[in-house]
Chains A and B, each alone.
Chain A
Amino acid sequence: MPVWLEANLVSVLNGFAIGFLLFILAVGLSLVFGMMDVLNLAHGALFLGGAYLGASLAGGGASWAGFLGALAIAAVAGLAAGGVLSLLTEPLRNRSHLDQALLTLGVALVVSELLIVVFGDDPLAVGAPPGLDGSVELLGAAYPTYRLALIGVGALLALAVYLVVDRTRIGALVRATVADREMVAALGVDNRLVKAAVFAVGSMLATTAGVLGGPIYGARSGLDSTVLILALVVVVIGGLGSVRGALVGALIIGQIESLGRALLPDFASFILFGALALVLVLRPRGLFGAPAAVPR
């Protein structure tokens, strides 16, 4: 195989790794937005929190205990944070969605500054757990084993989320709320609980993504805005409230970030934002979003 083709195939593979990571991050944002029209701008800060957790517990000499411990703590912290966010946006339920979005913006500012206060200004690096920190000979080049593992984990999580949302009663409730909130309320289900649950699980996925992404992205201030914007692009392109949309959108963005940057390094960022703007204007509900999910 010619060298340039090999190199680009590696980029494609990498695109899947990044894509699955983005999916784990963005699916929570998409569901909350689709269900409650709440744009959670603090989502990036949650990712950063997970990243810092991973860096402090599994940073220096990475070990499985540290890594899994970081994952567990991040999951619990994410659940709690999601619950708190849900509580915080409750009083604003009757006000415009903009107010709720602004509230999460304020929370994002506070959380990201607090993280700097606690963890310091230094950027931190996270090592992959032993056994996954080597590389594999693939298509004539070395590819980090960890990223391959990430593809596997991401695919499993995607399957799990899909099964829950598509096959369980809770999932049916979530899908129904995305489609028609008032009707579900009229059926006697307490919207607040569903919202809190989705918020909690979505935030848990975000912090977990932060830990999982540590060996690739590390932890540094400013990462939260970068990641938030990527997640927003995924959610808008994929469609609000749709798990399938989040997956497809994430994989597409993963490819743009990987293959796109390799082929057109100067234009990759423009493609990203241009695509976002285009979708928002032409088809605001995204590729898989429900038509009713577009707020007025």
Chain B
Amino acid sequence: MTARVVDGPAAPDSAGAAEPPPRPTRVARSAAVAVLVLLAAAPLFLAPFATTTLTRVLVFALFAVSLDLLVGVTGLPSLGHAAYFGTGAYAAGWVSINVTSEVPVPLLVGAAFGALAAALTGWVTVRTHGVFFLMLTLAIGELVQQVADSWETLTGGANGMTGIPATRLAGQPLVTAGYLYWYVLAAFLVGFAVLWLVSRSPFGEALRGIRDNEPRMRALGYPTSLYKYAALVLAGAGAGLAGALLAAQVRLVTPADLGFATAAFGLLAVIIGGAGSMWGACLGAALVIVIRDALGPSLDGHGTLLLGVVFVLVVYLLPRGAAGTRWPRRRGSGRRGSGP
């Protein structure tokens, strides 16, 4: 029943990297609750600009978490994930302008279109691996950005989609920084929860197995291409949801949101935070946004330099295994699987 998944990953030749993540310890659980409480209470004691920055962090964090499902859990390094992010943003923006901006319509539309874009492009990309996947997703990302740039009637062209109305909750527009923050936080938590649960489910474990040794998984009878495709579509939905939140918060979507820079920053956030650990991706996203928006101006706009340096350092200090977080070994802390 469960034997096949448990035995497979704990093979001696890929020591450590193939282990599924251990169940969260009690410390981790209370830390998570504390962070949640802090996040929920933030607008009550933070100045509006700090709240707006935190909102931006949440949006980017959801994007990074969805990318982590691809990079960290499934082992598909994507440099074109921003395409789904931007597609969701444009879709949500268009719906807000032309149909309605009532919660939850833009969110659902954004997630749906993100998933659709991933579904359309995914069947091509899942047939490649590793660095080739990287290049192909880069190409697709550039292609989608070109479309956004050229299709002026739909997307507003290079100027972007402007005049997106404020999201409405039961008829009331969410304009104050604090209310908008809570809305984004709620959507973020839902998205994060779904992605996190998927990564912890048997499906997620299968994805990790595919990441570590795809031929073996295929030999075990898994339809690996289908699983990868499903992961891609799910990640696309997550990115689309984040895009819808972007449209709600900034109320402007430009082709740059679909571009290589956004995708590269997302990848940076995931790698810095620790590929495979969802909360790590959030932390990485926070670091990227803070450096770019808060520290950037004081560094004369050269925040990217600092990010690049941090990124290089992190790549060196990564433990063995490209996409895997090594948790400190604690004897008897509820690790699943039988080790050697």
A, B co-complexed: yes
User: Are the C-beta atoms of A284 and B128 separated by less than 8 Å?
Assistant: yes
The docked-state distance in angstroms from the alpha carbon of A281 to that of B131 is 13
User: Are the C-beta atoms of A98 and B305 separated by less than 8 Å?
Assistant: no
User: Are the C-beta atoms of A110 and B318 separated by less than 8 Å?
Assistant: no
Answer whether residue A274 sits at the interface, using C-beta atoms and an 8 A cutoff.
yes
Answer whether residue B23 sits at the interface, using C-beta atoms and an 8 A cutoff.
no
Contact A109 B311, CB 8 Å, known A95-B322, A96-B322, A229-B142: yes
Answer whether residue A133 sits at the interface, using C-beta atoms and an 8 A cutoff.
no
User: Are the C-beta atoms of A109 and B129 separated by less than 8 Å?
Assistant: no
Answer whether residue B132 sits at the interface, using C-beta atoms and an 8 A cutoff.
yes
Residues of the B chain whose Cβ atoms lie less than 8 Å from the Cβ of A101 = 131, 134
Answer whether residue A216 sits at the interface, using C-beta atoms and an 8 A cutoff.
no
Residues of the B chain whose Cβ atoms lie less than 8 Å from the Cβ of A277 = 124, 136, 139-140, 143
Q: Please, what's the 1-or-0 string for B295-323, where 1 marks a CB less than 8 Å from any CB in chain A?
A: 00000001011011101100110101110
The docked-state distance in angstroms from the alpha carbon of A296 to that of B260 is 25
Those of A91-109 within 8 Å (CB) of chain B: 91-92, 95-99, 101-103, 105-109
User: Are the C-beta atoms of B143 and A113 separated by less than 8 Å?
Assistant: no
Answer whether residue A236 sits at the interface, using C-beta atoms and an 8 A cutoff.
yes
9-residue interface stretch from A11-19, A137-145, A265-273: A265-273
Residues of the B chain whose Cβ atoms lie less than 8 Å from the Cβ of A273 = 139-140, 142-143, 146
User: Are the C-beta atoms of A295 and B146 separated by less than 8 Å?
Assistant: no
Q: Whose C-beta in chain B lies nearest to the C-beta of A101?
A: B131
Answer whether residue A280 sits at the interface, using C-beta atoms and an 8 A cutoff.
yes
Residues of the B chain whose Cβ atoms lie less than 8 Å from the Cβ of A295 = 129-132
Residues of the A chain whose Cβ atoms lie less than 8 Å from the Cβ of B124 = 277, 281
User: Are the C-beta atoms of A109 and B307 separated by less than 8 Å?
Assistant: yes
Answer whether residue B271 sits at the interface, using C-beta atoms and an 8 A cutoff.
yes
Which of B139, B309, B311 is the most central at the interface, judged by chain A CB atoms within 10 Å of its CB?
B139
The docked-state distance in angstroms from the alpha carbon of A295 to that of B132 is 8
Those of A104-122 within 8 Å (CB) of chain B: 105-110, 113-114, 116-117
Answer whether residue A201 sits at the interface, using C-beta atoms and an 8 A cutoff.
no
In the complex, how many residues of chain A place their beta carbon closer than 8 angstroms to a beta carbon of chain B? 40
Residues of the B chain whose Cβ atoms lie less than 8 Å from the Cβ of A102 = 77, 267, 271, 311, 315
Q: Please, what's the 1-or-0 string for A60-95, where 1 marks a CB less than 8 Å from any CB in chain B?
A: 000000000000000000000000000000011001
Q: Is the interface of B mostly helix, strand, loop or mixed?
A: helix
- When the two chains form the complex, which single residue of A106, A232, A270 contacts B143, counting CB atoms closer than 8 Å? A270
Answer whether residue A8 sits at the interface, using C-beta atoms and an 8 A cutoff.
no
Q: Whose C-beta in chain B lies nearest to the C-beta of A99?
A: B322
Answer whether residue B264 sits at the interface, using C-beta atoms and an 8 A cutoff.
yes
User: Are the C-beta atoms of B316 and A91 separated by less than 8 Å?
Assistant: yes
User: Are the C-beta atoms of B312 and A39 separated by less than 8 Å?
Assistant: no
Residues of the B chain whose Cβ atoms lie less than 8 Å from the Cβ of A232 = 135, 138-139
- When the two chains form the complex, which single residue of A110, A233, A296 contacts B309, counting CB atoms closer than 8 Å? A110
Answer whether residue A257 sits at the interface, using C-beta atoms and an 8 A cutoff.
no
The docked-state distance in angstroms from the alpha carbon of A296 to that of B132 is 9
Q: Whose C-beta in chain A lies nearest to the C-beta of B150?
A: A266
Min CB distance, A226 to chain B, in Å? 10
User: Are the C-beta atoms of A236 and B146 separated by less than 8 Å?
Assistant: no
Min CB distance, B303 to chain A, in Å? 9
Residues of the A chain whose Cβ atoms lie less than 8 Å from the Cβ of B128 = 280-281, 284
Q: Whose C-beta in chain B lies nearest to the C-beta of A276?
A: B139
Residues of the A chain whose Cβ atoms lie less than 8 Å from the Cβ of B77 = 98, 102
The docked-state distance in angstroms from the alpha carbon of A296 to that of B150 is 36
The docked-state distance in angstroms from the alpha carbon of A102 to that of B150 is 30
Answer whether residue B336 sits at the interface, using C-beta atoms and an 8 A cutoff.
no
Contact A229 B131, CB 8 Å, known A105-B311, A110-B309, A270-B146: no
The docked-state distance in angstroms from the alpha carbon of A102 to that of B308 is 11
User: Are the C-beta atoms of A99 and B308 separated by less than 8 Å?
Assistant: no
**Chain A interface (Cβ < 8 Å from any Cβ of B):** 37, 39, 91-92, 95-99, 101-103, 105-110, 113-114, 116-117, 225, 229, 232-233, 236, 266, 269-270, 273-274, 276-277, 280-281, 284, 294-296
Taking A110-B305, A110-B312, A116-B302 as known contacts, 12 extra A-B pairs with beta carbons closer than 8 A to each other, sorted by chain A number, are A91-B316, A102-B315, A105-B267, A109-B264, A225-B260, A232-B135, A273-B139, A273-B143, A273-B146, A277-B139, A277-B140, A284-B132
